[in-house]
Chains A and B, each alone.
Chain A
Amino acid sequence: MGNVLEVRSLSKSFGGIRAVRDVSFDLKRGEFLALIGPNGAGKTTCFNMLNGYLRPDTGSVKLLGRELVGIPPRKVWRMGVGRTFQITETFRSMTVLENVQMALISHNRRIFDLFSKATALYRDEALKLLELIGMAAQADRPCAELAYGDLKQLELAIALAHDPDLLLMDEPTAGMAPNERIALMQLTADIVARGHVSVIFTEHDMDVVFAHSHRILVLNRGELIAEGTGDEIRANALVQEVYLGGGSLFHEKETAHA
Protein backbone atom coordinates (compact mmCIF):
# COMPACT_ATOMS: atom_id res chain seq x y z
CA MET A 1 0.00 0.00 0.00
CA GLY A 2 2.04 2.92 -1.25
CA ASN A 3 1.72 6.37 0.15
CA VAL A 4 1.36 8.99 -2.54
CA LEU A 5 2.11 11.79 -0.17
CA GLU A 6 3.97 11.94 3.12
CA VAL A 7 3.80 15.19 5.03
CA ARG A 8 6.00 15.63 8.07
CA SER A 9 6.04 18.43 10.65
CA LEU A 10 4.98 21.16 8.31
CA SER A 11 5.03 24.64 9.89
CA LYS A 12 4.61 28.16 8.62
CA SER A 13 4.41 31.52 10.35
CA PHE A 14 3.49 34.89 8.90
CA GLY A 15 5.05 37.50 11.09
CA GLY A 16 3.63 36.67 14.48
CA ILE A 17 0.83 34.44 13.18
CA ARG A 18 1.60 30.75 13.29
CA ALA A 19 -0.66 29.74 10.45
CA VAL A 20 0.36 26.07 10.35
CA ARG A 21 2.08 24.21 13.18
CA ASP A 22 3.69 20.84 12.99
CA VAL A 23 1.25 19.15 10.65
CA SER A 24 1.97 15.56 9.58
CA PHE A 25 -0.14 13.09 7.63
CA ASP A 26 0.01 10.48 4.89
CA LEU A 27 -2.12 10.00 1.85
CA LYS A 28 -2.63 6.66 0.15
CA ARG A 29 -3.11 6.10 -3.51
CA GLY A 30 -6.76 6.40 -4.40
CA GLU A 31 -7.65 8.09 -1.15
CA PHE A 32 -10.15 10.92 -0.93
CA LEU A 33 -9.11 13.06 1.98
CA ALA A 34 -10.93 16.08 3.36
CA LEU A 35 -9.15 18.83 5.23
CA ILE A 36 -11.59 20.88 7.23
CA GLY A 37 -11.37 23.53 9.87
CA PRO A 38 -12.55 27.00 10.83
CA ASN A 39 -11.79 30.01 8.72
CA GLY A 40 -8.19 30.96 9.07
CA ALA A 41 -7.22 27.53 10.37
CA GLY A 42 -4.44 27.24 7.80
CA LYS A 43 -5.95 24.98 5.16
CA THR A 44 -5.08 27.12 2.19
CA THR A 45 -1.65 27.75 3.67
CA CYS A 46 -1.15 23.98 3.88
CA PHE A 47 -2.12 23.57 0.26
CA ASN A 48 0.23 26.31 -0.77
CA MET A 49 3.08 24.51 0.94
CA LEU A 50 2.17 21.18 -0.60
CA ASN A 51 2.58 22.47 -4.11
CA GLY A 52 5.34 24.99 -3.87
CA TYR A 53 3.58 28.35 -3.65
CA LEU A 54 4.88 28.81 -0.14
CA ARG A 55 8.06 27.52 1.37
CA PRO A 56 7.42 25.94 4.77
CA ASP A 57 9.51 27.16 7.69
CA THR A 58 10.12 23.55 8.64
CA GLY A 59 8.98 20.14 7.55
CA SER A 60 8.99 17.98 4.49
CA VAL A 61 6.56 16.93 1.79
CA LYS A 62 7.30 13.80 -0.18
CA LEU A 63 5.42 12.85 -3.34
CA LEU A 64 6.04 9.21 -4.16
CA GLY A 65 9.25 9.46 -2.22
CA ARG A 66 10.48 12.66 -3.87
CA GLU A 67 10.91 15.81 -1.78
CA LEU A 68 8.69 18.70 -2.93
CA VAL A 69 9.85 21.44 -0.58
CA GLY A 70 11.84 24.04 -2.47
CA ILE A 71 10.53 23.05 -5.87
CA PRO A 72 8.62 25.78 -7.74
CA PRO A 73 4.91 25.19 -8.42
CA ARG A 74 5.37 24.67 -12.13
CA LYS A 75 7.69 21.75 -11.53
CA VAL A 76 5.45 20.32 -8.85
CA TRP A 77 2.70 20.39 -11.46
CA ARG A 78 4.87 18.51 -13.91
CA MET A 79 5.55 15.92 -11.24
CA GLY A 80 1.85 15.18 -11.26
CA VAL A 81 0.12 17.48 -8.77
CA GLY A 82 -2.89 19.42 -10.01
CA ARG A 83 -4.76 22.06 -8.06
CA THR A 84 -7.83 24.23 -8.06
CA PHE A 85 -7.86 27.59 -6.33
CA GLN A 86 -10.15 28.85 -3.59
CA ILE A 87 -10.36 32.17 -5.36
CA THR A 88 -10.56 31.11 -8.99
CA GLU A 89 -7.63 31.78 -11.29
CA THR A 90 -8.40 31.47 -14.98
CA PHE A 91 -7.35 33.17 -18.18
CA ARG A 92 -10.11 35.72 -18.46
CA SER A 93 -9.41 36.79 -22.01
CA MET A 94 -9.83 33.27 -23.35
CA THR A 95 -12.80 31.02 -23.86
CA VAL A 96 -13.59 28.12 -21.58
CA LEU A 97 -12.26 25.65 -24.10
CA GLU A 98 -9.07 27.62 -24.67
CA ASN A 99 -8.39 27.59 -20.95
CA VAL A 100 -8.34 23.82 -20.98
CA GLN A 101 -6.38 23.73 -24.21
CA MET A 102 -3.66 25.85 -22.66
CA ALA A 103 -3.16 23.32 -19.91
CA LEU A 104 -2.93 20.57 -22.51
CA ILE A 105 -0.52 22.56 -24.64
CA SER A 106 1.69 23.10 -21.65
CA HIS A 107 1.47 19.46 -20.65
CA ASN A 108 2.61 18.47 -24.13
CA ARG A 109 5.42 21.02 -23.90
CA ARG A 110 4.39 23.05 -26.91
CA ILE A 111 4.18 26.51 -25.41
CA PHE A 112 7.07 27.80 -27.48
CA ASP A 113 5.42 26.81 -30.73
CA LEU A 114 5.36 29.95 -32.88
CA PHE A 115 3.40 28.75 -35.86
CA SER A 116 0.57 26.36 -35.05
CA LYS A 117 -2.85 27.73 -34.34
CA ALA A 118 -3.30 27.41 -30.61
CA THR A 119 -7.05 27.08 -30.84
CA ALA A 120 -6.75 24.04 -33.09
CA LEU A 121 -4.49 22.06 -30.76
CA TYR A 122 -5.85 19.33 -28.49
CA ARG A 123 -9.37 20.52 -29.15
CA ASP A 124 -10.97 17.13 -28.85
CA GLU A 125 -9.18 16.24 -25.67
CA ALA A 126 -10.18 19.56 -24.16
CA LEU A 127 -13.80 19.08 -25.22
CA LYS A 128 -13.78 15.66 -23.66
CA LEU A 129 -12.63 17.12 -20.37
CA LEU A 130 -15.35 19.75 -20.54
CA GLU A 131 -17.92 17.07 -21.26
CA LEU A 132 -16.69 15.17 -18.28
CA ILE A 133 -17.48 18.07 -15.96
CA GLY A 134 -20.61 18.97 -17.88
CA MET A 135 -19.50 22.25 -19.35
CA ALA A 136 -19.30 21.37 -23.02
CA ALA A 137 -22.22 23.66 -23.80
CA GLN A 138 -20.24 26.64 -22.52
CA ALA A 139 -17.05 25.75 -24.36
CA ASP A 140 -16.99 28.85 -26.52
CA ARG A 141 -18.04 31.41 -23.93
CA PRO A 142 -15.45 33.91 -22.82
CA CYS A 143 -14.25 33.02 -19.37
CA ALA A 144 -14.81 36.54 -18.11
CA GLU A 145 -18.55 36.10 -18.51
CA LEU A 146 -18.93 32.91 -16.54
CA ALA A 147 -20.83 32.78 -13.30
CA TYR A 148 -18.67 32.00 -10.30
CA GLY A 149 -19.86 28.43 -9.90
CA ASP A 150 -19.01 27.62 -13.47
CA LEU A 151 -15.51 28.95 -13.04
CA LYS A 152 -15.06 26.49 -10.20
CA GLN A 153 -16.00 23.64 -12.48
CA LEU A 154 -13.69 24.89 -15.15
CA GLU A 155 -10.85 24.87 -12.66
CA LEU A 156 -11.41 21.19 -12.14
CA ALA A 157 -11.25 20.50 -15.86
CA ILE A 158 -7.97 22.39 -16.07
CA ALA A 159 -6.58 20.55 -13.08
CA LEU A 160 -7.42 17.20 -14.67
CA ALA A 161 -5.77 18.05 -17.96
CA HIS A 162 -2.40 16.53 -17.17
CA ASP A 163 -3.79 13.40 -15.60
CA PRO A 164 -2.37 14.05 -12.13
CA ASP A 165 -1.48 11.57 -9.40
CA LEU A 166 -2.56 14.02 -6.75
CA LEU A 167 -5.25 16.63 -6.92
CA LEU A 168 -5.48 19.46 -4.41
CA MET A 169 -8.86 21.16 -4.39
CA ASP A 170 -9.35 24.26 -2.29
CA GLU A 171 -13.08 24.70 -1.68
CA PRO A 172 -13.99 23.25 -5.06
CA THR A 173 -17.72 23.64 -4.76
CA ALA A 174 -18.05 27.00 -3.05
CA GLY A 175 -20.50 29.16 -4.94
CA MET A 176 -22.22 26.27 -6.69
CA ALA A 177 -25.81 25.09 -6.60
CA PRO A 178 -26.50 22.26 -4.13
CA ASN A 179 -26.91 19.38 -6.53
CA GLU A 180 -24.18 20.64 -8.80
CA ARG A 181 -21.93 20.42 -5.78
CA ILE A 182 -22.93 16.87 -5.21
CA ALA A 183 -22.51 16.12 -8.89
CA LEU A 184 -19.07 17.67 -9.05
CA MET A 185 -17.89 15.80 -5.99
CA GLN A 186 -19.50 12.61 -7.24
CA LEU A 187 -17.55 13.06 -10.41
CA THR A 188 -14.37 13.57 -8.43
CA ALA A 189 -15.19 10.54 -6.33
CA ASP A 190 -15.63 8.49 -9.51
CA ILE A 191 -12.25 9.58 -10.73
CA VAL A 192 -10.75 8.68 -7.38
CA ALA A 193 -12.52 5.33 -7.46
CA ARG A 194 -10.60 4.35 -10.55
CA GLY A 195 -7.74 4.12 -8.11
CA HIS A 196 -5.12 6.21 -9.80
CA VAL A 197 -5.69 9.69 -8.44
CA SER A 198 -5.61 10.77 -4.82
CA VAL A 199 -7.44 13.90 -3.77
CA ILE A 200 -7.13 16.27 -0.86
CA PHE A 201 -9.86 18.87 -0.65
CA THR A 202 -11.06 21.53 1.72
CA GLU A 203 -14.69 22.42 1.98
CA HIS A 204 -17.09 24.15 4.31
CA ASP A 205 -20.12 22.33 2.96
CA MET A 206 -20.45 19.40 5.33
CA ASP A 207 -22.87 17.57 3.06
CA VAL A 208 -20.12 17.32 0.53
CA VAL A 209 -17.47 16.42 3.07
CA PHE A 210 -19.41 13.65 4.76
CA ALA A 211 -20.79 12.25 1.54
CA HIS A 212 -17.56 11.39 -0.19
CA SER A 213 -14.41 11.64 1.84
CA HIS A 214 -12.69 8.48 3.00
CA ARG A 215 -10.97 10.23 5.83
CA ILE A 216 -11.16 13.69 7.38
CA LEU A 217 -8.44 15.80 8.96
CA VAL A 218 -9.46 18.71 11.12
CA LEU A 219 -7.22 21.72 11.44
CA ASN A 220 -7.70 24.42 14.05
CA ARG A 221 -5.42 27.39 14.54
CA GLY A 222 -2.81 25.66 12.47
CA GLU A 223 -2.81 22.38 14.37
CA LEU A 224 -4.34 19.03 13.53
CA ILE A 225 -6.92 18.41 16.21
CA ALA A 226 -8.71 15.37 14.88
CA GLU A 227 -8.55 12.71 12.23
CA GLY A 228 -11.02 10.01 11.33
CA THR A 229 -14.02 8.94 9.32
CA GLY A 230 -17.11 11.05 8.90
CA ASP A 231 -18.89 9.49 11.83
CA GLU A 232 -15.92 9.84 14.13
CA ILE A 233 -15.51 13.47 13.24
CA ARG A 234 -19.18 14.22 13.64
CA ALA A 235 -19.11 12.70 17.10
CA ASN A 236 -15.98 14.55 18.18
CA ALA A 237 -16.90 17.13 20.80
CA LEU A 238 -13.94 19.40 20.12
CA VAL A 239 -14.66 19.50 16.40
CA GLN A 240 -18.27 20.26 17.10
CA GLU A 241 -17.29 23.14 19.29
CA VAL A 242 -14.72 24.80 17.07
CA TYR A 243 -16.14 23.99 13.70
CA LEU A 244 -19.35 22.10 13.16
CA GLY A 245 -21.57 23.99 15.60
CA GLY A 246 -25.10 22.79 16.31
CA GLY A 247 -25.41 21.10 12.96
CA SER A 248 -28.55 22.90 11.91
CA LEU A 249 -27.00 23.51 8.54
CA PHE A 250 -26.34 20.00 7.40
CA HIS A 251 -27.90 17.34 9.53
CA GLU A 252 -31.06 17.23 7.45
CA LYS A 253 -29.08 15.74 4.68
CA GLU A 254 -27.08 13.48 6.88
CA THR A 255 -29.32 10.48 6.49
CA ALA A 256 -29.43 10.84 2.77
CA HIS A 257 -25.73 10.23 2.40
CA ALA A 258 -24.74 8.35 5.48
Chain B
Amino acid sequence: MLEVRELNSQYGGAKILHGVTMTLGANEVVALLGRNGAGKSTTMKSIMGMVRQKSGSVLYEGAEMLGRPSHVICRAGVGYVPEERRIFKELTVEENLSVGKREKRADAPEWTLDHLYTLFPNLKERRRNLGKHLSGGEQQMLTIARTLMGNPKVVLLDEPSEGIAPVIVEQMAHVIAELKREGLSVLISEQNLHFARLVSDRAYIIEKGQMRYEGTFAELDAQPEVSAKYLAV
Protein backbone atom coordinates (compact mmCIF):
# COMPACT_ATOMS: atom_id res chain seq x y z
CA MET B 1 0.00 0.00 0.00
CA LEU B 2 2.53 2.50 1.22
CA GLU B 3 6.22 1.95 1.02
CA VAL B 4 8.82 4.35 2.34
CA ARG B 5 12.42 3.78 1.30
CA GLU B 6 15.55 5.51 2.49
CA LEU B 7 13.72 8.71 3.33
CA ASN B 8 15.90 11.63 4.34
CA SER B 9 14.35 14.90 5.42
CA GLN B 10 15.65 18.11 6.79
CA TYR B 11 14.41 21.48 7.95
CA GLY B 12 16.81 24.16 6.93
CA GLY B 13 20.21 22.87 7.92
CA ALA B 14 18.96 20.36 10.46
CA LYS B 15 18.77 16.80 9.13
CA ILE B 16 15.93 15.05 10.87
CA LEU B 17 15.34 11.75 9.09
CA HIS B 18 18.20 9.49 8.15
CA GLY B 19 17.16 6.80 5.70
CA VAL B 20 13.80 5.84 7.11
CA THR B 21 12.37 2.69 5.55
CA MET B 22 8.97 1.23 6.35
CA THR B 23 5.93 -0.35 4.79
CA LEU B 24 2.23 -0.23 5.47
CA GLY B 25 0.28 -3.14 4.04
CA ALA B 26 -3.28 -3.10 2.77
CA ASN B 27 -5.84 -3.13 5.55
CA GLU B 28 -3.17 -2.98 8.21
CA VAL B 29 -2.82 -0.77 11.28
CA VAL B 30 0.77 0.05 12.06
CA ALA B 31 2.06 2.08 14.99
CA LEU B 32 4.99 4.42 14.67
CA LEU B 33 6.48 4.77 18.11
CA GLY B 34 9.21 6.98 19.40
CA ARG B 35 9.80 9.60 21.97
CA ASN B 36 9.60 13.37 21.62
CA GLY B 37 11.43 14.71 18.67
CA ALA B 38 12.25 11.26 17.31
CA GLY B 39 10.87 12.17 13.90
CA LYS B 40 7.41 10.63 13.85
CA SER B 41 5.66 13.75 12.69
CA THR B 42 8.42 14.52 10.24
CA THR B 43 8.00 11.09 8.68
CA MET B 44 4.30 11.68 8.22
CA LYS B 45 4.76 15.17 6.89
CA SER B 46 7.35 13.93 4.43
CA ILE B 47 4.97 11.27 3.16
CA MET B 48 2.35 13.98 2.74
CA GLY B 49 4.69 16.24 0.79
CA MET B 50 4.75 18.86 3.52
CA VAL B 51 8.50 18.92 4.09
CA ARG B 52 10.38 20.78 1.43
CA GLN B 53 13.83 19.24 1.61
CA LYS B 54 13.76 15.49 1.29
CA SER B 55 15.10 12.58 -0.70
CA GLY B 56 14.44 8.88 -1.00
CA SER B 57 11.24 7.32 -2.16
CA VAL B 58 7.62 7.13 -1.06
CA LEU B 59 5.61 4.64 -3.08
CA TYR B 60 1.86 4.61 -2.79
CA GLU B 61 0.25 1.72 -4.65
CA GLY B 62 3.44 1.54 -6.63
CA ALA B 63 3.44 5.19 -7.71
CA GLU B 64 6.16 7.57 -6.61
CA MET B 65 4.76 10.31 -4.39
CA LEU B 66 7.96 11.99 -3.30
CA GLY B 67 8.16 15.52 -4.63
CA ARG B 68 4.48 15.74 -5.54
CA PRO B 69 2.38 18.44 -3.94
CA SER B 70 0.27 17.42 -0.98
CA HIS B 71 -3.08 17.90 -2.69
CA VAL B 72 -2.11 15.31 -5.30
CA ILE B 73 -1.08 12.86 -2.60
CA CYS B 74 -4.33 13.46 -0.77
CA ARG B 75 -6.40 12.97 -3.89
CA ALA B 76 -4.58 9.73 -4.54
CA GLY B 77 -6.11 8.49 -1.30
CA VAL B 78 -3.80 9.38 1.57
CA GLY B 79 -5.45 11.22 4.44
CA TYR B 80 -3.40 13.04 7.05
CA VAL B 81 -4.39 14.11 10.56
CA PRO B 82 -1.81 16.53 11.94
CA GLU B 83 -0.89 16.51 15.60
CA GLU B 84 -1.30 20.24 16.11
CA ARG B 85 -5.05 20.16 15.38
CA ARG B 86 -4.91 22.49 12.46
CA ILE B 87 -8.59 23.18 12.24
CA PHE B 88 -9.89 26.25 10.47
CA LYS B 89 -10.65 28.45 13.41
CA GLU B 90 -12.92 30.93 11.68
CA LEU B 91 -15.05 28.26 10.02
CA THR B 92 -17.87 26.39 11.67
CA VAL B 93 -17.52 22.72 12.46
CA GLU B 94 -19.67 21.82 9.51
CA GLU B 95 -17.70 24.05 7.16
CA ASN B 96 -14.49 22.53 8.44
CA LEU B 97 -15.84 19.14 7.52
CA SER B 98 -16.93 20.35 4.11
CA VAL B 99 -13.40 21.50 3.29
CA GLY B 100 -12.24 17.93 3.72
CA LYS B 101 -14.96 16.53 1.48
CA ARG B 102 -13.85 14.74 -1.68
CA GLU B 103 -15.61 12.55 -4.18
CA LYS B 104 -16.40 8.98 -3.37
CA ARG B 105 -13.66 6.52 -4.21
CA ALA B 106 -14.58 3.15 -5.67
CA ASP B 107 -12.11 1.26 -3.55
CA ALA B 108 -12.60 3.01 -0.24
CA PRO B 109 -15.56 3.45 2.11
CA GLU B 110 -17.57 6.64 1.90
CA TRP B 111 -18.04 8.74 5.01
CA THR B 112 -21.11 10.85 5.52
CA LEU B 113 -21.76 13.60 8.03
CA ASP B 114 -24.27 11.42 9.85
CA HIS B 115 -21.87 8.56 10.14
CA LEU B 116 -19.16 10.83 11.52
CA TYR B 117 -21.55 12.45 13.96
CA THR B 118 -22.38 9.07 15.43
CA LEU B 119 -18.67 8.43 15.87
CA PHE B 120 -18.09 11.87 17.42
CA PRO B 121 -21.30 13.00 19.13
CA ASN B 122 -19.60 16.11 20.58
CA LEU B 123 -19.18 17.46 17.10
CA LYS B 124 -22.82 17.11 16.29
CA GLU B 125 -23.72 19.24 19.27
CA ARG B 126 -21.26 21.90 18.21
CA ARG B 127 -21.77 21.78 14.49
CA ARG B 128 -22.63 25.45 14.10
CA ASN B 129 -19.84 26.64 16.41
CA LEU B 130 -16.71 28.23 15.09
CA GLY B 131 -13.65 26.02 15.23
CA LYS B 132 -11.87 28.31 17.64
CA HIS B 133 -14.58 27.90 20.22
CA LEU B 134 -14.07 24.16 20.55
CA SER B 135 -12.20 22.69 23.47
CA GLY B 136 -8.84 21.08 22.80
CA GLY B 137 -10.26 17.60 22.60
CA GLU B 138 -13.15 18.61 20.40
CA GLN B 139 -10.68 20.14 17.99
CA GLN B 140 -8.80 16.87 17.86
CA MET B 141 -11.98 15.00 16.97
CA LEU B 142 -12.77 17.52 14.30
CA THR B 143 -9.39 17.04 12.62
CA ILE B 144 -9.93 13.31 12.38
CA ALA B 145 -13.47 13.66 11.10
CA ARG B 146 -12.36 16.25 8.55
CA THR B 147 -9.78 13.91 7.10
CA LEU B 148 -12.23 11.04 6.91
CA MET B 149 -14.54 13.27 4.84
CA GLY B 150 -11.99 12.84 2.07
CA ASN B 151 -12.75 9.09 1.90
CA PRO B 152 -9.09 8.09 2.12
CA LYS B 153 -7.65 4.62 1.66
CA VAL B 154 -4.67 5.25 3.88
CA VAL B 155 -4.86 7.40 6.98
CA LEU B 156 -1.86 8.89 8.74
CA LEU B 157 -2.85 9.72 12.31
CA ASP B 158 -0.38 11.81 14.24
CA GLU B 159 -0.86 11.27 17.98
CA PRO B 160 -4.65 11.02 17.83
CA SER B 161 -5.03 10.23 21.52
CA GLU B 162 -3.23 13.28 22.78
CA GLY B 163 -5.37 15.44 25.00
CA ILE B 164 -8.43 13.22 24.68
CA ALA B 165 -10.48 11.92 27.57
CA PRO B 166 -10.04 8.20 28.25
CA VAL B 167 -13.63 7.36 27.26
CA ILE B 168 -13.10 9.06 23.96
CA VAL B 169 -9.74 7.40 23.46
CA GLU B 170 -11.50 4.09 23.86
CA GLN B 171 -14.02 5.29 21.36
CA MET B 172 -11.17 6.30 19.10
CA ALA B 173 -9.82 2.79 19.37
CA HIS B 174 -13.18 1.60 18.12
CA VAL B 175 -13.03 4.12 15.31
CA ILE B 176 -9.66 2.79 14.25
CA ALA B 177 -10.92 -0.75 14.49
CA GLU B 178 -13.81 0.30 12.33
CA LEU B 179 -11.48 1.93 9.82
CA LYS B 180 -9.65 -1.34 9.61
CA ARG B 181 -12.88 -3.24 9.22
CA GLU B 182 -13.84 -0.92 6.41
CA GLY B 183 -10.64 -1.89 4.65
CA LEU B 184 -8.46 1.15 5.33
CA SER B 185 -4.79 1.11 6.20
CA VAL B 186 -3.76 3.25 9.12
CA LEU B 187 -0.37 4.52 10.20
CA ILE B 188 -0.57 5.95 13.67
CA SER B 189 2.11 7.79 15.54
CA GLU B 190 1.82 7.35 19.27
CA GLN B 191 3.49 7.73 22.59
CA ASN B 192 0.64 6.11 24.45
CA LEU B 193 1.69 2.46 24.37
CA HIS B 194 -1.56 1.16 25.83
CA PHE B 195 -3.45 2.74 23.04
CA ALA B 196 -1.02 1.73 20.32
CA ARG B 197 -1.10 -1.84 21.49
CA LEU B 198 -4.86 -1.81 21.57
CA VAL B 199 -5.31 -0.78 17.98
CA SER B 200 -2.33 -1.81 15.90
CA ASP B 201 -1.02 -4.96 14.28
CA ARG B 202 2.63 -4.04 14.11
CA ALA B 203 4.98 -1.39 15.36
CA TYR B 204 8.00 0.51 14.19
CA ILE B 205 10.21 2.37 16.57
CA ILE B 206 11.99 5.46 15.39
CA GLU B 207 14.77 7.16 17.29
CA LYS B 208 16.74 10.21 16.22
CA GLY B 209 15.40 9.90 12.71
CA GLN B 210 16.36 6.26 12.24
CA MET B 211 14.25 3.12 12.34
CA ARG B 212 15.42 0.99 15.24
CA TYR B 213 12.85 -1.71 15.49
CA GLU B 214 10.17 -3.45 13.53
CA GLY B 215 7.86 -6.20 14.71
CA THR B 216 4.66 -7.18 16.44
CA PHE B 217 3.75 -6.09 19.93
CA ALA B 218 4.22 -9.62 21.21
CA GLU B 219 7.79 -9.54 19.96
CA LEU B 220 8.26 -6.11 21.45
CA ASP B 221 7.00 -7.27 24.83
CA ALA B 222 9.52 -10.10 24.73
CA GLN B 223 12.30 -7.55 24.48
CA PRO B 224 11.68 -5.06 27.27
CA GLU B 225 15.14 -3.58 26.78
CA VAL B 226 14.08 -2.29 23.36
CA SER B 227 11.14 -0.31 24.67
CA ALA B 228 13.18 0.88 27.59
CA LYS B 229 15.91 2.13 25.32
CA TYR B 230 13.91 3.80 22.59
CA LEU B 231 10.54 4.54 24.05
CA ALA B 232 11.36 5.62 27.55
CA VAL B 233 8.55 3.66 29.13
| Chain A residues at the B interface, C-beta cutoff of 8 Å | 14, 37-41, 44, 86-87, 145-150, 171, 174-180, 204-206, 242-250, 252-253
Q: Decide: B159 and A175 in contact? CB cutoff 8 A.
A: yes
B35, B83, B159, B167: which contacts A243 (Cβ < 8 A)?
A: B167
Distance (Å) between the CB of A96 and the closest chain B CB? Answer: 13
| Distance of A237 Cα from B44 Cα, bound (Å) | 39
Q: Given the complex, which residues of A lie within 8 Å of B159, measured CB to CB?
A: 175
Q: Decide: B162 and A174 in contact? CB cutoff 8 A.
A: yes
| Distance of A115 Cα from B41 Cα, bound (Å) | 41
| Chain B residues at the A interface, C-beta cutoff of 8 Å | 11, 14, 35-38, 41, 83-84, 122, 126, 133-138, 140-141, 159, 162-171, 173, 191-195, 198, 231-233
Q: Decide: B36 and A243 in contact? CB cutoff 8 A.
A: no
Q: Decide: A250 and B167 in contact? CB cutoff 8 A.
A: no
B83, B193, B233: which contacts A148 (Cβ < 8 A)?
A: B83
Q: Decide: B135 and A44 in contact? CB cutoff 8 A.
A: yes
A86, A150, A178, A243: which contacts B37 (Cβ < 8 A)?
A: A150
| Distance of A148 Cα from B83 Cα, bound (Å) | 9
| Distance of A248 Cα from B14 Cα, bound (Å) | 39
Q: Pull 10 A–B residue pairs with CB atoms less than 8 Å apart, ordered by A.
A: A148-B36, A177-B231, A177-B233, A178-B192, A178-B231, A204-B164, A243-B166, A244-B167, A249-B169, A250-B166
Q: Decide: B14 and A175 in contact? CB cutoff 8 A.
A: no
Q: Decide: B36 and A245 in contact? CB cutoff 8 A.
A: no
Q: Given the complex, which residues of B lie within 8 Å of A244, measured CB to CB?
A: 166-167
Q: Decide: A150 and B36 in contact? CB cutoff 8 A.
A: yes
Q: Decide: A249 and B36 in contact? CB cutoff 8 A.
A: no
Q: Given the complex, which residues of B lie within 8 Å of A147, measured CB to CB?
A: 36-38, 41
Q: Decide: B170 and A248 in contact? CB cutoff 8 A.
A: yes
A14, A179, A249, A252: which contacts B166 (Cβ < 8 A)?
A: A249
A178 and B233 in contact, given A39-B135, A148-B83 (Cβ under 8 angstroms):
yes
| Distance of A253 Cα from B166 Cα, bound (Å) | 14
Q: Decide: B166 and A145 in contact? CB cutoff 8 A.
A: no
Q: Decide: A38 and B165 in contact? CB cutoff 8 A.
A: yes
Q: Decide: B232 and A175 in contact? CB cutoff 8 A.
A: no
3 A-B pairs with least C-beta separation = A39-B137, A149-B36, A147-B37
Distance (Å) between the CB of B216 and the closest chain A CB? Answer: 18
Q: Given the complex, which residues of B lie within 8 Å of A175, measured CB to CB?
A: 36, 83, 159, 162-163, 191
Q: Given the complex, which residues of B lie within 8 Å of A44, measured CB to CB?
A: 135-136
Distance (Å) between the CB of B1 and the closest chain A CB? Answer: 28
Q: Decide: B198 and A249 in contact? CB cutoff 8 A.
A: yes
| Distance of A87 Cα from B126 Cα, bound (Å) | 21
Q: Residue on B with the closest CB to A183? A: B232
A39, A178, A247, A250: which contacts B136 (Cβ < 8 A)?
A: A39
Q: Given the complex, which residues of B lie within 8 Å of A86, measured CB to CB?
A: 136, 163
B14, B35, B164, B171: which contacts A145 (Cβ < 8 A)?
A: B14
| Distance of A180 Cα from B38 Cα, bound (Å) | 14
Q: Decide: B162 and A249 in contact? CB cutoff 8 A.
A: no
Q: Decide: A39 and B165 in contact? CB cutoff 8 A.
A: yes
Distance (Å) between the CB of B145 and the closest chain A CB? Answer: 14
A146, A171, A242, A249: which contacts B163 (Cβ < 8 A)?
A: A171
Q: Residue on A with the closest CB to B171? A: A245
| Distance of A254 Cα from B38 Cα, bound (Å) | 28
| Distance of A14 Cα from B191 Cα, bound (Å) | 34
| Distance of A159 Cα from B25 Cα, bound (Å) | 45
Q: Given the complex, which residues of A lie within 8 Å of B193, measured CB to CB?
A: 178
Q: Decide: B191 and A249 in contact? CB cutoff 8 A.
A: no
Q: Decide: B167 and A242 in contact? CB cutoff 8 A.
A: yes
B11, B133, B167: which contacts A245 (Cβ < 8 A)?
A: B167
Q: Decide: A149 and B163 in contact? CB cutoff 8 A.
A: no
| Distance of A197 Cα from B128 Cα, bound (Å) | 41
Q: Given the complex, which residues of A lie within 8 Å of B38, measured CB to CB?
A: 147
Q: Decide: A37 and B166 in contact? CB cutoff 8 A.
A: no
Q: Decide: B136 and A252 in contact? CB cutoff 8 A.
A: no
Residue from the set A38, A41, A177, A252 with the largest chain B CB neighbour count within 10 Å: A177
Q: Given the complex, which residues of B lie within 8 Å of A205, measured CB to CB?
A: 192
| Distance of A41 Cα from B192 Cα, bound (Å) | 23
Q: Residue on B with the closest CB to A241? A: B167
| Distance of A138 Cα from B192 Cα, bound (Å) | 24
Q: Given the complex, which residues of A lie within 8 Å of B37, measured CB to CB?
A: 146-147, 149-150
| Distance of A39 Cα from B36 Cα, bound (Å) | 24
Q: Decide: A14 and B194 in contact? CB cutoff 8 A.
A: no
| Distance of A246 Cα from B231 Cα, bound (Å) | 25
Q: Decide: B162 and A40 in contact? CB cutoff 8 A.
A: no
